[in-house]
Amino acid sequence: MFEFNKQKITHDKLGADLFDFAVDFSKQVAAHELSSTESDFADVDELAFIHEWMMLLAWAAHRAPVECDKSRLMRAFFKSWISNYGVIRSRVEAENEQRLIAARLKEYDGAFNPATSDQLLLGGTIAKNILGQEKLCLDAGKQFKMATHALLLIKEVRKICDKYQITD
């Protein structure tokens, strides 16, 4: 999209919009994956599932192809996260959450292969984290499911970011 066709937006507004999208997307994936008793993730706690997808969206937002100050965008995203995520009740909990998110960003970056559409390593990493496992999930079905959702997530984040030009 040409720059003159893009809507003007601030880092804070885009960060907040990406957070709102993260909440909606995470809930949709959770509803889809947790509603069936035959799902590989049927026994996973819904909040834990949503929480992990929120972290994955933070990773996708960090990788977003928008020309901006990524640290400012992520601060705005985290500001929305910390102020709107109901389980964080103190500064210590907020700092712990930020450390966990930073670790996940690094972990997902290491698992993502931008040179190919084969994202089974990423899917296995997501499944491992959702299931609370120590080692990479090697179940091909779980890897494929999570990789498919992750690729859809990346596509949606790109569509959101392609609409905007950062103005501040």
d(CA 32, CA 53) in angstroms, rounded, equals 13
Radius of gyration of the chain (CA): 16
Burial 119-146 (b: 16+ CB within 10 A, else e): bbebbbbbbbbbbeeeeebeeeebbebb
Give all strands (DSSP E) within the chain, no chain letters. 7-9, 164-166
What's the pLDDT score for residue 118? 81
In which residue are the tokens 């296995």 written?
A: 124
What's the pLDDT score for residue 133? 92
Domain that holds residue 158: 3-166
What's the pLDDT score for residue 112? 92
**Residue type at position 38:** E
Decide: 30 and 3 in contact? Cβ < 8 Å: no
What's the pLDDT score for residue 98? 81
Tokens of 129: 């984290």
pTM of this structure = 0.84
Query: What total of structural domains would you count in the chain?
Result: 1
Which parts of the chain have pLDDT scores under 50? 1
